[in-house]
């Protein structure tokens, strides 16, 4: 909850990957709030009782949403899908605006990797941005499982990470109304 709030403000890509991990953690505990309390919330001994209560309620609300949205076994919460849709919409806006040529260049440098990943997905193809997130999340899971990652995969992950970092940077600027504001800061016109 605390980490999610901070990440959402600072880096939307990290936030989304974190929230996907939270979904999987909740699933790993069988959507059982008592197991989550024992194994996650109670470990935060340095938090005030109010913050620990808020954290537990946050997990409870996520569990409720996962059940009601039918994503208890797999898939993503609507709030995470909405975040991804916002990121994808910004991606399209950036590509369409010539003043963001640096973004387009970074995207087109990453595109061969995205195309390769999408081709491996078969019928489960997703949008390009979601494909990037899926790739990074998959690599994160491999690292957490202490599985070896090839040098090519590591290079691809680094390239995709740089691209999503730039997109996250623009997302933050857009969130703060600093991105598509065409007024001159000096003249106000």
What pLDDT does residue 2 have? 66
The residue ranges of every structural domain in the chain are: 2-68, 78-175
What would the 3-class secondary structure string for the chain be? CHHHHHHHHHCHHHHHHHHHHHHHHHHHCCCCHHHHHHHCHHHCCCCCHHHHHHHHHHHHHHHHHHHHCCCCCCCCCHHHHHHHHHHHHHHHHHHHCHHHHHHHHHHHHHHHHHHHHHHHCHHHCCCHHHHHHHHHHHHHHHHHCCCCCCHHHHHHHHHHHHHHHHHHHHHHHHHCCCCCCCCCCCCCC
What pLDDT does residue 181 have? 72
- In the chain (189 residues long), the average pLDDT of successive 10-residue segments reads 74 95 97 96 90 94 98 96 96 96 96 91 81 95 92 94 97 91 50
What pLDDT does residue 44 have? 86
What pLDDT does residue 156 have? 93
**What's this model's pTM, rounded to 2 decimal places?**
0.88
pLDDT, tens only, 42-81: 998 888 999 999 999 999 999 999 999 999 999 999 999 9
What pLDDT does residue 187 have? 43
């Amino acid at each position: 909850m605390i980490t999610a709030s901070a990440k959402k403000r600072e880096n939307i890509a990290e936030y989304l990957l974190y929230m996907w991990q939270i979904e999987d953690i909740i699933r790993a505990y069988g959507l059982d709030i008592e197991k989550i309390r024992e194994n996650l919330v109670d470990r935060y001994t340095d938090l005030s009782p109010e913050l620990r209560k808020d954290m537990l309620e946050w997990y409870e609300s996520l569990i409720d949403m996962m059940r009601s949205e039918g994503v208890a076994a797999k898939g993503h919460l609507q709030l995470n899908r909405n975040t991804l849709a916002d990121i994808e919409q910004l991606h399209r806006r950036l590509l369409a605006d010539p003043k963001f040529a640096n973004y387009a260049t970074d995207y087109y440098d990453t595109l061969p990797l995205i195309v390769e990943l999408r081709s491996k997905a078969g019928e489960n193809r997703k949008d390009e941005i979601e494909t990037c997130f899926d790739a990074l999340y998959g690599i994160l899971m491999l690292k957490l499982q202490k599985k070896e990652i090839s040098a090519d995969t590591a290079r691809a992950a680094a390239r995709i990470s740089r691209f999503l970092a730039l997109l996250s940077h623009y997302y933050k600027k857009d969130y703060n109304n600093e991105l598509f504001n065409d007024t001159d800061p000096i003249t106000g016109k």
